[in-house]
C-alpha cells in the first residue's frame, strides 16, 4: 500500500461501511494527511487490509470521485485531486464574522441565544411527540396553523403576556424570525425602509434585508428604543421591548406610548419580538406591547427560549385582516409549519406541561443569573433583570481581548460590537447563561471577570 492511514470500518455501526470509509478519507484529505497527488491503494489491496469486500472500497472511491476529491490517471490508479487540500483546508474564521453553531467540545459557551434544555420533563416531552405522531396527515394544510394550537396559544399569550387575542388574530409560524420574515414578505415593497434596533438582533436585519428593505439602524439606550430618534419614513420597525436584545433594557411605559403614537402618526407597523418575555427576575413581566394597540403592533413569539429551538414553532399575533394577508402570502411562498410539532406543542400546553416547565425554568435561570452576577462581582452590568443574558460594559479593545483570551482558556464569549450594524455606540461583552452547564457558569464568569479587570488595568495604564 502506498499510503499509511489509520482506516477502520465497524461492521456493527449503523452507518454503511463504504460511508465510514468515505468520511475517513475525506477527513484525511481535508486535513492534508492525504496530500494532493498522492496515490490511493488499489481497491482490492485496501479491501484485503480492512477485511471487507472489494465493493465496499470501490463504492467509497466512486463517491469521492463524484465529489471531486479523487481522480483516476489512466491505467495507473487512483489519486488525490490536485489542489484539493488547499481549497478545502479549514481557514481560521474570526468569531466576529461567523460563529460555529455548536461550541467545540470542552468549551464553555457563554454566548447568548440558547436556552437550557437539560431540565425538560422527558416523559412529558416524549408523550407529547408520541401522541402528536398519531394525528392523521391532512389533505390540505391551513396556513394559519392547527386550530387547536391557535386556541391554546391565544390562551397562553393572554395569561402569560397579558394580551387578549382572538384566535383569528394568531397564526402559527416556525419561530419569531420566521414570523418577521412572513410579515416582511407581506407588507414590504422593494426599497421600503425598515428600522432595526441598534445594537440589535442580527437575524432581524438579515431577514428584512432579504425581503428587499433598506435597513435603518435605530439607536437604543439602556431603556430600549429611543423613540424620539425614529425617522418618519419607516414602513416598519423591529423592536424587543420586553428585553432589548442585546442591551437588556425594558421599554418604559411612556416610551411604549410614544412608540405607538409614532406608528399611528406615520403609518408604520411595529414588529414586537417577544423572544424571552416570559423571563423576568425582579418584578412580573410587563404585558406585551401588542395589548396596548393591536392595530399597529405585530407580536412575535417563539418556543426557542422557553422550550428549545428544536421545537421549531412560534406565533404571530396581529389584527385579523393582517393575519389573513400573511396567511395568503405564506401560501404563495409555500411556507409552512409542520403539523406534528404543532400538535406536540398543543399537547404540552393543554396538559399544563409547558407552564410547569416555565416555572421550573424561571427558577433555574434565576439561580444561573445569580451565580453569574456573583462571579462578575464589581463589574458594571446591564440588562440583568430579565431574559437569559446580560451585558458587561468594557472598552472595545478590552472586550476584544477578553474574547480572545477567554477562548484560549476554554470559554466562548461574544462582544457587543458583534450586534452592531453601524459604528458601535456601546462596547462590552454579552454573556448568555442559558446554554452552559450550571457548574461551569461561575468559574467561566470568574475567568471573564479576571480577564476584564486585568484588561482594564492595561487599557487604563
Ligand X SMILES: Cc1ncc(COP(=O)(O)O)c(C=O)c1O
By CB under 6 A, is residue 176 in contact with ligand X? yes
Q: Is the peptide bond before 339 cis (omega within 30 degrees of 0)?
A: no
Q: Which of 41, 175, 248, 249 binds ligand X (CB under 6 A)?
A: 175
Are 345 and 374 contacting, i.e. CB atoms less than 8 angstroms apart?
Answer: no
Q: Which of 240, 337, 435, 452 binds ligand X (CB under 6 A)?
A: 240
Are 435 and 107 contacting, i.e. CB atoms less than 8 angstroms apart?
Answer: no
Enumerate helices (H) and strands (E) in the chain, giving the number of each.
14, 17
Beta-ladder partners of 237: 195, 270
Sign for the pseudo-dihedral over CA of 150, 152, 155, 157: negative
Q: Which stretch binds ligand X (CB under 6 A): 94-102, 171-179, 364-372, 393-401?
A: 171-179
| Cell representation of residue 17 | 461501511
CB of 114 to ligand X, least distance (A): 7
Are 254 and 221 contacting, i.e. CB atoms less than 8 angstroms apart?
Answer: no
By CB under 6 A, is residue 448 in contact with ligand X? no
175 versus 455: smaller Cβ distance to ligand X: 175
By CB under 6 A, is residue 435 in contact with ligand X? no
Tell which positions 129-148 bind ligand X, by CB under 6 A.
Answer: none
By CB under 6 A, is residue 452 in contact with ligand X? no
CB of 179 to ligand X, least distance (A): 8
205 versus 401: smaller Cβ distance to ligand X: 205
Are 22 and 64 contacting, i.e. CB atoms less than 8 angstroms apart?
Answer: yes
Specify the DSSP class assigned to residue 81.
Answer: P
CB of 174 to ligand X, least distance (A): 7
173 versus 452: smaller Cβ distance to ligand X: 173
Q: Which is nearest to 315 in space by CA: 330, 303, 297, 327?
A: 303
Query: In this chain, which residue has its C-beta nearest to ligand X?
Result: 175
CA distances 299 to 152, 210, 415, Å, are 16, 20, 28
17 versus 247: smaller Cβ distance to ligand X: 247
Tell which positions 264-293 bind ligand X, by CB under 6 A.
Answer: 273, 275
302 versus 337: smaller Cβ distance to ligand X: 302
Q: Which of 20, 78, 304, 435 binds ligand X (CB under 6 A)?
A: 304
Q: Which stretch binds ligand X (CB under 6 A): 68-76, 301-309, 315-323, 415-423?
A: 301-309
Distance CA 434, CA 437 (A): 9
Per-residue interface string for the shown chain with ligand X, residues 184-223, x marking contact by CB under 6 A = -----------------x----------------------
Distance CA 246, CA 393 (A): 12
CB of 147 to ligand X, least distance (A): 22
Q: Which is nearest to 311 in space by CA: 137, 104, 153, 162?
A: 153
CB neighbour class for 262 (10 Å; exposed up to 12, middle 13-18, buried from 19): buried
Q: Which of 145, 199, 314, 455 binds ligand X (CB under 6 A)?
A: 314
- Site for ligand X, rule CB under 6 A: 113, 175-178, 201, 240, 245, 273, 275, 302, 304, 309, 314
Amino acid at each position: 500500500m502506498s499510503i499509511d492511514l489509520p482506516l477502520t470500518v465497524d461492521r456493527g455501526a449503523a452507518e454503511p461501511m463504504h460511508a465510514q470509509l468515505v468520511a475517513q478519507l475525506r477527513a484525511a484529505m481535508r486535513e492534508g494527511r492525504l496530500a494532493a497527488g498522492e496515490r490511493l491503494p488499489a481497491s482490492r489491496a485496501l479491501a484485503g487490509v480492512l477485511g471487507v469486500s472489494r465493493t465496499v472500497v470501490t463504492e467509497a472511491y466512486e463517491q469521492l470521485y463524484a465529489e471531486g476529491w479523487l481522480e483516476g490517471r489512466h491505467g495507473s490508479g487512483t489519486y488525490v485531486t490536485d489542489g484539493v487540500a488547499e481549497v478545502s483546508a479549514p481557514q481560521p474564521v474570526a468569531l466576529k464574522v461567523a460563529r460555529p453553531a455548536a461550541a467545540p467540545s470542552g468549551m464553555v459557551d457563554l454566548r447568548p441565544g440558547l436556552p437550557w434544555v437539560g431540565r425538560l420533563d422527558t416523559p412529558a416531552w416524549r408523550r407529547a411527540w408520541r401522541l402528536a405522531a398519531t394525528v392523521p396527515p391532512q389533505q390540505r394544510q391551513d396556513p394559519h396553523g392547527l386550530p387547536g394550537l391557535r386556541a391554546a396559544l391565544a390562551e397562553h399569550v393572554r395569561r402569560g403576556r397579558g394580551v387578549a387575542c382572538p384566535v383569528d388574530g394568531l397564526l402559527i409560524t416556525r419561530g419569531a424570525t420566521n414570523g418577521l420574515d412572513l410579515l416582511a414578505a407581506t407588507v414590504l415593497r422593494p426599497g421600503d425602509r425598515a428600522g432595526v434596533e441598534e445594537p440589535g438582533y442580527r437575524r432581524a436585519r438579515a431577514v428584512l434585508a432579504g425581503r428587499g428593505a433598506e435597513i435603518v439602524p435605530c439607536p437604543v439606550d439602556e431603556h430600549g428604543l429611543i423613540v424620539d430618534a425614529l425617522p418618519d419614513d419607516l414602513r416598519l420597525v423591529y423592536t424587543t421591548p420586553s428585553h432589548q436584545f442585546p442591551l437588556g433594557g425594558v421599554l418604559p411605559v411612556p416610551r411604549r406610548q410614544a412608540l405607538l403614537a409614532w406608528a399611528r402618526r406615520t403609518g408604520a407597523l411595529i414588529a414586537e419580538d417577544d423572544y424571552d418575555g416570559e423571563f423576568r427576575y425582579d418584578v412580573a413581566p410587563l404585558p406585551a406591547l401588542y395589548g396596548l394597540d393591536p392595530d399597529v403592533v405585530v407580536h412575535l413569539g417563539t418556543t426557542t427560549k422557553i422550550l428549545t429551538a428544536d421545537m421549531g414553532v412560534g406565533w404571530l399575533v396581529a389584527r385579523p385582516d393582517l393575519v389573513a394577508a400573511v396567511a395568503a402570502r405564506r401560501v404563495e411562498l409555500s411556507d409552512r409549519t409542520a403539523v406534528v410539532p404543532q400538535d406536540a406543542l398543543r399537547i404540552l400546553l393543554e396538559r399544563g406541561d409547558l407552564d410547569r416547565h416555565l416555572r421550573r425554568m424561571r427558577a433555574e435561570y434565576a439561580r444561573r443569573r445569580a451565580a453569574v452576577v456573583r462571579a462578575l462581582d464589581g463589574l458594571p452590568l446591564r440588562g440583568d433583570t430579565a431574559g437569559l443574558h446580560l451585558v458587561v460594559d468594557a472598552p472595545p479593545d478590552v472586550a476584544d481581548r477578553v474574547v480572545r483570551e477567554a477562548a484560549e482558556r476554554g470559554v466562548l464569549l461574544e462582544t457587543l460590537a458583534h450586534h452592531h450594524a453601524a459604528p458601535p455606540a456601546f462596547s462590552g461583552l454579552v454573556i448568555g447563561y442559558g446554554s452552559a452547564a450550571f457548574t461551569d457558569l461561575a468559574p467561566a464568569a470568574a475567568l471573564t471577570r479576571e480577564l476584564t479587570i486585568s484588561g482594564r488595568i492595561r487599557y487604563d495604564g
